[in-house]
């Protein structure tokens, strides 16, 4: 679905409101959503079902921001134009969920069956960057060149025995209500202890924010250009400042691990300093336990470990909510 700016939004919204069911006060009735409106907008953008209009002028209320209109004055969750667009999409898709009337009469429980495969909402994560390569042609080759399995191996390589990584009750946080916090840790990057590093398994690149890059006293001339954009921060494509490889050390000597790790640098504001995603976690060989708020990994001296900081995680959460 395409939109052509605020005027067209308002015109389309008035037409939709004329056809839409209304409550007693004459306000449009929207289908209840299982996710916040902002998340639905992000998914609809990724699927090219909704296109953002040109940013409009801010309204007097500067404390509220709309991700659809990209202006201040009202919240995304309050945006009736966006709600109307989402409602129109839902109504168009309803025909795929209609059931045979005879089947309804025979078994009313079938009305509660999950929607057919392919119609379920998907919330996308951040992806993109130079994973696999930094050109479209090599990306396609990288996607196809996936090892499926090994039929037979004549002389399998013997792997050294390693100390098993286990989590016990001793690793549990002292406070019971900390088990739902994000895993936020402190990591040595380029010889500096960087706090507020969030460890997450969702996305395909390690992200460092430009403010932190500068605080590490690094110059942008050290960045390697990245042509592949990132998607998933706000739904729009984000063009990175570049990529940089830096020494990273986790753990405490003698059970510490040091690796060279690549970060994609983005010029965005965030409550976190760095986000360590799948590439970094895999490179460390780290095993994460969220109930324990612990990350453990093999080192030459044995199993190293980094405990999450629940207080830092909560401070980041509060800052993010206020922003």
Residues 274-293, mean pLDDT to the nearest whole number: 90
- pLDDT at residue 188, as a whole number: 95
Half-sphere exposure (CA, 13 Å, Cβ side) for 96? Answer: 12
Every domain range in the chain assigned CATH 2.40.70.10: 170-322
> Is the pTM of the predicted complex or chain greater than 0.85?
no
Which residues are 259's β-sheet partners?
Answer: 248
CATH for 170-322 is 2.40.70.10
Instruction: Give the confidence band of 5 by pLDDT, cuts at 50, 70, 90.
Output: very low
Q: What is the mean pLDDT of the chain?
A: 76
pLDDT per position as a tens digit, 212-267: 999 999 999 999 998 888 876 555 678 899 999 999 999 999 999 999 999 999 99
pLDDT per position as a tens digit, 78-103: 888 888 888 888 877 665 444 444 44
- pLDDT at residue 192, as a whole number: 94
- pLDDT at residue 236, as a whole number: 66
Burial (CB < 10 A; 0-12, 13-18, 19+), residue 155, is: exposed
Q: Who contacts 75 (Cβ-Cβ below 8 Å, separation ≥6)?
A: 64, 65, 66
pLDDT per position as a tens digit, 7-23: 554 555 555 555 566 76
Burial of 237-262, coded b for 16+ CB within 10 Å and e otherwise, reads ebebbbbbebebbbbeeebbbeeebb
Complete DSSP assignment for 231-265: ESSSSSEE--SEEEEEEEEEEETTEEEEEEEEEEE
pLDDT per position as a tens digit, 132-150: 445 555 545 545 555 445 4
- How long, in residues, is the chain? 323
More confident residue, 62 or 239: 239
Half-sphere exposure (CA, 13 Å, Cβ side) for 47? Answer: 17
- pLDDT at residue 181, as a whole number: 79
What stretch of H or E contains 289?
Answer: strand 287-289
More confident residue, 191 or 42: 191
Q: Which of 30-44, 110-124, 241-255 has the highest mean pLDDT?
A: 241-255
- pLDDT at residue 161, as a whole number: 79
Q: Where are the beta strands (DSSP E) in 131-221?
A: 184-189, 192-199, 207-209
């Amino acid at each position: 679905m395409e939109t052509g700016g605020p005027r067209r939004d308002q015109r389309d919204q008035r037409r939709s409101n004329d056809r839409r069911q209304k409550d007693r006060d004459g306000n449009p009735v929207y289908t209840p959503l299982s996710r916040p409106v902002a998340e639905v907008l992000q998914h609809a953008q990724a699927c090219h079902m909704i296109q953002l209009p040109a940013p409009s002028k801010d309204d007097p209320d500067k404390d509220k921001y709309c991700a659809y209109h990209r202006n201040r004055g009202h919240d995304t969750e309050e945006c009736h134009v966006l709600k109307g667009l989402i409602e129109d999409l839902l109504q168009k898709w309803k025909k795929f969920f209609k059931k045979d009337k005879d089947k309804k009469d025979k078994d009313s429980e079938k009305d509660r069956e999950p929607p057919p495969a392919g119609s379920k909402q998907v919330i996308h994560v951040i992806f993109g960057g130079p994973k696999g390569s930094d050109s479209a042609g090599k990306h396609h080759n990288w996607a196809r060149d996936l090892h499926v399995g090994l039929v037979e191996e004549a002389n399998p390589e013997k792997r050294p025995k390693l100390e098993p990584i286990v989590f016990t009750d001793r690793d549990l946080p002292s406070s019971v209500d900390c088990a739902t916090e994000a895993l936020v840790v402190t990591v040595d990057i380029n010889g500096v202890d960087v706090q507020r590093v969030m460890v997450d398994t969702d996305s395909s690149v390690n992200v460092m924010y430009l403010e932190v890059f500068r605080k590490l006293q690094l110059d942008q001339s050290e960045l390697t250009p990245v042509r592949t954009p990132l998607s998933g921060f706000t739904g729009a494509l984000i063009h990175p400042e570049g990529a940089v490889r830096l020494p990273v050390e986790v753990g405490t000597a003698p059970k510490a691990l040091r690796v060279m790790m690549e970060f994609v640098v983005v010029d965005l504001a965030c409550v976190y300093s760095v986000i360590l995603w799948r590439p970094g976690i895999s490179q460390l060989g780290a095993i994460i336990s969220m109930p324990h708020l612990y990350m453990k990994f093999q080192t030459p001296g044995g199993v190293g470990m980094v405990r999450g900081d629940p207080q830092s995680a909560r401070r980041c959460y509060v800052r993010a909510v206020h922003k």
